Amino acid sequence: MKANTIITISRQYGSQGREVGQELANRLGIPYYDRDLITLAAKESGFSEDLFDQLDRRATNSFLYSLTMFGSAGINGLSLTDQLYVTQRNIIRDLAAKGSCVFVGRCADYILRKEPEIYNFFIKAPMEKRLEHAKDDPKVPEATKETLEKLDKQRSAYYNFYTGQIWGNAANYDMCLDSGVLGVSKVVDMILEYIDIAQKE
């Protein structure tokens, strides 16, 4: 694999996108980043870690609410929600500059779109499989079709707001794969095969 290869994973809620990202990073022996970003961000930015975590959860999970509550301009002209985004964006850029890695979520595909060796994947799964996985997730209070659709809508609103792009638009990804049909391991095989072909061109 070429130096500074960046892999980003966007995913439907409950589609095991996180597992795909982790297995990719493991197999390639490169770092994997998702919520860990928050901890890093909190430390670097001087935000209280607790406040940061709370804000981040709100910003992603009930974005419209957080725009209303934290959307007014703060000290340096940016609302708290925007400060959170900007801080995460800067951290994502710094991490990507260090070498090859895998990002799950956090608009990393958009933030790093100018990287020469970036590969973006979208992971989906049939609703019945997503419900199974969401049942084990302590962050989902009640795993119903409606809850998962709502969580995806919130992710989508957050992404669309900060990137001006449409979340889940096939044209923006190198490949979109169904982890429910293929399984995590086969999805990882296909992603690695894709990058291999793309880098040989």
Of 75 and 197, nearer to a copy of itself (C-beta) is 197
Using CB under 8 A, which residues numbered 29 to 88 contact a copy of itself? none
115 interacts with a copy of itself by CB under 8 A: no
Whether residue 12 contacts residue 123, with contact meaning beta carbons closer than 8 Å, is answered with yes
Q: How far is CA 188 from the centre of its chain?
A: 17
Cα–Cα distance for residue pair 14/17, rounded to 1 Å? 8
Q: CA 20 to CA 184: how far, in whole Å?
A: 6
Distance, in Å, from the CA atom of 106 to the CA atom of 9, rounded to the nearest integer, reads: 10
Min separation Cβ 49 and a copy of itself, Å: 34
Task: Report the C-alpha gap between 165 and 183 in whole angstroms.
Answer: 28
By the rule CB under 8 A, 145 interacts with a copy of itself: no
To the nearest 10 degrees (0 to 180), the angle between helices 63-70 and 145-163 is 50
User: Residue 101 or residue 195: which is nearer to a copy of itself going by CB?
Assistant: 195
Structural contact between residues 116 and 179, judged by C-beta atoms closer than 8 angstroms: no
Least CB distance to a copy of itself at residue 123 (A): 9
Residue (15 or 81) nearer to a copy of itself, CB: 15
Considering the rule CB under 8 A, would residue 12 count as an interface residue with a copy of itself? yes
Binding mask 165-184 for a copy of itself (x = CB under 8 A): ---xxxx-xxxxxx--xx--
Q: Is 124 in the site for a copy of itself (CB under 8 A)?
A: yes
- Contact residues toward a copy of itself (CB under 8 A) are 12, 122, 124, 168-171, 173-178, 181-182, 186, 190, 194, 197-198, 201
